[in-house]
Structure 1
């Protein structure tokens, strides 16, 4: 499911999934859901849009509208995962959770270890699908929002705190404010945003 292929377009709406290493529920273990929200803040500051999301205990699904930038979408996502990894490791260190830290350290392959990588926090690649049509976009939004229900975490999508479902189902923003895919129709993503970070 995960891909290492490069996103070649400069802008667009993408359904992105990235997973904690070996599906370990690191967001739950660390209560590190806020690390994803901090990354979302950074994306918004860079002119991108968060359309829908769910932060599960061990993976993230997000629908992100990327405005044209000087950085590749792959590097934006890679840098985000790196930032979140440092934050999650820091939370584990603060908790004194040596067992999980040792486990993450043992998963680093020899090549990455030579590059001074200390912990394998996320699976190395991520899944991506470009959303070309409203129908496909709606399919992905529904998939995102029903994910916690399928996992048995809640009965209704809007009950899951770390999701944009509340806004889509009730009109009230949840923990993190998003723009709906319908509101996004009025946004020109091809306008180049100058990246300063």
Structure 2
């Protein structure tokens, strides 16, 4: 069932995580990651979110962000990216992945054929400088932990390179 999250302080930074249904690795090519980056860029341009750190991985993503309407923005990002991902998978003839997304769809989700994302996004309010640093390190070292790279700055879909080398990544950060 859908879980409602109560955001007690919408002005605070939040660490959020979203995971693909059953941890299916569906973000395997640049064009699939671009679906996520385009969605987040859209809400950045609308000033509906302020992005501080990010990482996109084959089966989940983490963001450190602020939004006055966090629940709604996350819902919109996940909804848009799911629709675009399904469209792209169909266009690419990725029947085996589509089959998995269909088989792993929750039974009560009757209005759709596929489910891309697990429900919720597990928001955690950043309460201290220590927690802020811990979450940024967690975000940036996730690709290393998963053995996708040996150095956090090598992962293209992360803000690590900005933090270490002051080099822009696939998304701009709102650090002001």
Q: Secondary structure at the match of 2:27?
A: helix
Query: Which sections of structure 2, spanning at least 5 residues, go unmatched?
Result: none
Runs of 4+ in 1 over 6 A off after TM superposition: none
2:133 paired with 1:132? no
The two structures have a TM-score, normalised by structure 2, of 0.90
Cα offsets for 1:101-157 (capped at 9, x unmatched): 1221222233211xx122110111221111122221111001000000111111111
Q: Could you say which residue in structure 2 is the equivalent of 1:40?
A: 40
After the TM superposition, which residues 20-35 of structure 1 pair with which residues of structure 2 at under 5 Å, given as runs?
20-28=20-28, 31-35=31-35
Q: Secondary structure at the match of 2:169?
A: coil
Task: Give the CA deviation at 1:169.
Answer: 0.5
- For residue 110 of structure 1, the aligned residue among 99, 107, 110 is 107
2:80 paired with 1:80? no
Distance 1:137 1:159 in 2: 22
Task: Give the CA deviation at 1:11.
Answer: 2.7
Distance 2:64 2:172 in 1: 13
2:162 paired with 1:161? no
Distance 2:30 2:73 in 1: 24
Query: Which sections of structure 1, spanning at least 5 residues, go unmatched?
Result: 185-197
RMSD: 1.7
Q: How many aligned residue pairs are there?
A: 173
Cα offsets for 1:163-195 (capped at 9, x unmatched): 00000001111222213xxx44xxxxxxxxxxx
- For residue 97 of structure 1, the aligned residue among 85, 94, 108 is 94
